[in-house]
Amino acid sequence: MSLFPYLENLTPKSFETTWNSPSNIAFIKYWGKKGHQLPANPSLSMTLKECTSTTKVFFAPSDSLEVELFLEGIREDKFALKIKNYLLSLTDFPWLSRHSIRIETHNTFPHGTGIASSASGLSAFALCLTEYLFHLAPEKGDFFQTASFFSRLASGSACRSVYGGFTTWGKESDEYATPFEVHGDMKELKDTILVIDESEKKVSSTTGHGRMAEHFFAKARFDQARNHFGLMTSALQGGDFELMGEIMESEALSLHAMMMTSPTPYVLLKPNSLVAMEMIRAFRQETKLPLYFTLDAGPNLHLIYPQDQSHKIQTFIHHELSPLSLKVIEDERGEGPRKC
Ligand code: PMV
């Protein structure tokens, strides 16, 4: 039985809804799974404001499962198949396979810029699905917890996007994410994204997670992540920027170190990723200003700093760092998804 027995046997109907949902950036990384899409270690992220997906879903009863998906108006059979396989994997909810589903989705950031669209796109889809389930079910639980659960089964990191501000996953529950309250000084954080390379990743995150299963350093990495998680939560609750930044950078480098030392090693960083990291550390030493970096599973840097010190930091980013990148995306802590 699933966590949501009252959603297990419902009758398909026609329904249509639209949600806008943001991407998120992990300060403590989820890298490695256990069981069915459960995290090997707790993670913590900040929900973004500008990098979002708006997704409209039409559900209609049908004898078999059919999914059509349009991204920026263009039919994308590859993504439609991913959603179809995801729905088929929800074996506790077999009635979901009796639908014809049409999805129309748009991103605020161009697809293929190296900004993960899976967290925003799949959480937006899961929010639409949850609204449909709640429309049909006579008994209901917590809406966002349910949406986080369904997001997680589509893409782990997506489960943290259903709440604004900061969220954790794998501490209170492995099944869904939970909002996390931070110190007042940590509430207005900026995230300037340096897009250093836009090409599609050579190795997908799914493959990367899989390689942790046989990884020589897996246990040490999961221990490190748990330790970092404790330090990061104290830093965020205590308003300690230096500790937050130190742990955040260590997490980013550990994530990439895991890729470089995995059974089949690979490198996603580019020369300019390393140049930018060196320059950030030199700038910090010289000015004592709190500018820190983190990375996703790719070469692009997320530059994290407090809004109230953004003037000098942004001058440095735009004059010194932006020539290393193809483009710069300005983002910041966001308030979470909204129904359109
Ligand atoms: O959600 P997935 O399966 O695409 O994994 C993403 C993992 C990282 O983005 C590298 C880290 C994280 O916690 O978001």
Q: Taking 70 as the threshold, does the pLDDT of residue 190 lie above it?
A: yes
Mean pLDDT of 185-204: 92
Q: Are 145 and 110 in the same domain?
A: yes
337 located within any domain: no
How many other CB atoms are found less than 10 A from the CB of residue 202?
A: 9
241-263 per-position pLDDT tens digit: 999 999 999 999 999 999 999 99
Mean pLDDT of 54-66: 98
One-letter identity of residue 230:
G
pTM, 2 dp: 0.97
Q: Are 90 and 195 in the same domain?
A: no
How many other CB atoms are found less than 10 A from the CB of residue 16?
A: 13
92 located within any domain: yes
What's the structural domain count of the chain? 2
Residue 114: per-residue pLDDT:
64
Residue 191: per-residue pLDDT:
98
Residue 154: per-residue pLDDT:
97
Mean pLDDT of 227-239: 98
Q: Taking 70 as the threshold, does the pLDDT of residue 1 lie above it?
A: no
Cα gap 95→13, rounded to integer Å? 11
Q: Taking 90 as the threshold, does the pLDDT of residue 103 lie above it?
A: yes
Residue 199: per-residue pLDDT:
83
Q: Give me the CATH number covering residue 65.
A: 3.30.230.10
- Cβ–ligand 1 distance for 269 under 6 Å, the answer no
Residue 112: per-residue pLDDT:
64
Task: State which of 28, 29, 160 you would mutate to test the pocket of ligand 1, scoring each by most atoms of that ligand within 8 A of its C-beta.
Answer: 29
Q: Taking 90 as the threshold, does the pLDDT of residue 84 lie above it?
A: yes
Q: Give me the CATH number covering residue 290.
A: 3.30.70.890
Mean pLDDT of 49-76: 97
Residue 178's alpha-carbon distances to 148, 149, 163, 169, 328, in angstroms, are 9, 11, 8, 6, 30
Residue 146's alpha-carbon distances to 22, 67, 73, 152, 286, in angstroms, are 17, 22, 29, 10, 47
Q: Are 209 and 306 in the same domain?
A: yes
Q: Are 93 and 205 in the same domain?
A: no
Which run of H or of E encompasses 56?
Answer: strand 43-61
Q: Are 81 and 209 in the same domain?
A: no
Q: What percent of the chain has pLDDT over 90?
A: 93
Please choose, from the candidates 47, 29, 304, the residue with its C-alpha nearest in 3D space to the C-alpha of residue 160.
47
Mean pLDDT of 58-81: 97
Reported confidence tier of residue 210, pLDDT bands at 50, 70, 90: very high
**Radius of gyration for the chain, computed over Cα atoms and rounded to the nearest angstrom:** 20
Mean pLDDT of 253-274: 97
**How far is ligand 1, taken at its centre, from the CA of residue 254, in Å?**
13
Q: Are 171 and 231 in the same domain?
A: no
Q: Are 206 and 173 in the same domain?
A: no
- Cβ–ligand 1 distance for 302 under 6 Å, the answer no
Q: What atom in ligand 1 is closest to the CA of residue 28?
A: 13
Mean pLDDT of 317-326: 97
Q: Where are the alpha helices (DSSP H) in the chain?
A: 77-89, 118-136, 143-154, 205-211, 218-238, 241-260, 271-287, 310-316
Range of the domain at 75: 5-181
Q: What atom in ligand 1 is closest to the CA of residue 155?
A: 1
Kindly report the protein residue whose alpha carbon is nearest to atom 6 of ligand 1.
Answer: 157
**For residue 130, how many C-alpha atoms fall within 13 Å in the half-sphere facing its CB?**
25
- Cβ–ligand 1 distance for 212 under 6 Å, the answer no
Residue 115: per-residue pLDDT:
74
Q: Are 160 and 202 in the same domain?
A: no
Reported confidence tier of residue 198, pLDDT bands at 50, 70, 90: confident
284-313 per-position pLDDT tens digit: 999 999 999 999 999 999 999 999 999 999
**For residue 206, how many C-alpha atoms fall within 13 Å in the half-sphere facing its CB?**
7
131-157 per-position pLDDT tens digit: 999 999 989 999 999 999 999 999 999
Residue 117: per-residue pLDDT:
79
144 located within any domain: yes
20 located within any domain: yes
Q: Are 176 and 194 in the same domain?
A: no
339 located within any domain: no
Mean pLDDT of 120-136: 98
Average pLDDT taken over every residue of the chain: 96
Q: Are 177 and 250 in the same domain?
A: no
Residue 202: per-residue pLDDT:
86
